[in-house]
Amino acid sequence: MFQRLPSYRDVSPTTFWNSDVPSHWSVAPGLAVIEENKRRNTDLAEGRVLSLSYGRVVVKPVEKQRGLVPESYEGYQVLEPGDIVIRPTDLQNDQTSIRVGMVRDRGIITSAYIGLRPKGSWSADYAYAYLATVDSTKRIYGMGSGLRQQLGWDDLKRMPCLVPPPEEQAHIVKYLTHANARIDKAIAAKRRLIALVNEEKQAVARDLLSSGSGEIGRVPGHWQSVISKRLCRITTGVEDSGNSAPDGEYPFFVRGREILRSSDYLFDAEAVMTPGDGQGGVGKVFHYYNGKFQAHQRVYVFLNFKGVRGRYFYWYLSTFFRSYALAQSNTVTMESLRQPVLASFPIAFPSMREQLRLVEQIEAETSRMQNQVDVAQREIALLGEFRARLLADVVTGKADVRAIAASLPEIDPDSPTPDPLADGDQIVEDAMEMSEV
């Protein structure tokens, strides 16, 4: 399905893509194939709030509608299934986020975003695939205006747009849907492997840190047990470097003016979920070790350790905190998991020398497992890159998929259709989150 994809024979050059495209495809300005959404949430007729996250337009749960929320949603725009959303701000400073998403549910979203609806010769799915390609190939960063390169409707309506014949658009979408399903299956298998290996790593750490009992607090009598706030400082005072943070991400590398050190540890409270919701997360612990850390805005930092080695603290916290948090309440949510819960977490530890021995033993026994995780993460990232490249080649006519698409089974219209760009950045983000060092 992916090998030896033929090229089109008759091609013509295009300036926008700096390459040749099929000669029988037309090129039209954006104004001919998309229109700007102007539906406003008048009289608060719509209450479902949408959010653009990692290239997906999702319904934002009520419990997450906190922080910088507007006094009224009347100024928001109303979107319908099939619409496309673009986050147009700060093109100059943020060149990593996925900025384009397709709407699957009716709802409202901030008018700071650009809402679009395909028209004329563009189908909704091909329109999304094309705009997602403009984003993933970084051409979107050459557009826009102003000090921070804000994209506007004036930029989009003049943008050159490729328009294959309608039947060919359908073939392209059909091929991408089947291709994404196969790539997703491969990624899911690797994520499952990572999850199983990480469970094995946690079992090793749990056994060594609890003298074989596997339970928090079941340790030799000569060990101390001290709540975490007496062993380190816990803070949420992390700021970015002056650049605005995109939705769902935070450039996590400066606290005030002090750069985080490699001995600092981060706790991601956004990973907290309600037990029984099928996701099973209660928070993730990360070791800060490079110059920039992508994380959600609700993050706690542990630093200035006293009487305990930071690396030992990391292993103990990442091994036992979930069970501890669940024991505090039958329902642990992001709102209930505040700093006092972290501050009261009991850390059991031996002498500094024995802490070092335990850490070295844990990391020696888990190093082979971590190598498996690292390999799987690299493969997931490569699959993400392959997906983005395949999308660009197919959507811009570098590969002719008409014949192979005609041989593929028809898509069930009642089943969910995977997004053509499905999860480019999320793949890398998930892989990073599953890594423990």
pLDDT at 295: 42
For 69-117, the pLDDT digits (tens) are 666 788 899 999 999 999 998 887 777 788 999 999 999 999 999 999 9
pLDDT at 378: 94
Last residue of a domain, one of 148, 163, 178: 163
Determine, yes or no, domain membership for 414: no
Determine, yes or no, domain membership for 32: yes
CB distance 268 to 321 below 8 Å = no
CB distance 221 to 351 below 8 Å = no
Q: Are 193 and 72 within one domain?
A: no
Give me the chain's average pLDDT, please: 79
More confident site: 429 or 187: 187
Q: Are 224 and 293 within one domain?
A: yes
For 350-393, the pLDDT digits (tens) are 999 999 999 999 989 999 998 999 999 999 999 999 999 999 99
Last residue of a domain, one of 372, 403, 432: 372
Determine, yes or no, domain membership for 202: yes
Last residue of a domain, one of 129, 163, 197: 163
Task: Classify residue 4 by burial, with Cβ atoms within 10 Å: 0-12, 13-18, 19+.
Answer: exposed
| Cα–Cα distance for residue pair 308/321, rounded to 1 Å | 17
H or E element that contains 315: helix 310-328
Full domain range(s) for residue 111: 28-163
| Cα–Cα distance for residue pair 228/240, rounded to 1 Å | 26
CB distance 418 to 177 below 8 Å = yes
Determine, yes or no, domain membership for 394: no
Q: Are 158 and 192 within one domain?
A: no
CB distance 235 to 255 below 8 Å = yes
Residue 408 has pLDDT above 50, yes or no: yes
Determine, yes or no, domain membership for 417: no
Q: Are 208 and 278 within one domain?
A: yes
The CATH code of the domain that includes 257 is: 3.90.220
Determine, yes or no, domain membership for 419: no
Tokens found for residue 169: 């658009």
The CATH code of the domain that includes 107 is: 3.90.220.20
Domains of the chain: total: 2
Q: Are 104 and 207 within one domain?
A: no
Task: Classify residue 43 by burial, with Cβ atoms within 10 Å: 0-12, 13-18, 19+.
Answer: exposed
Q: Are 115 and 226 within one domain?
A: no
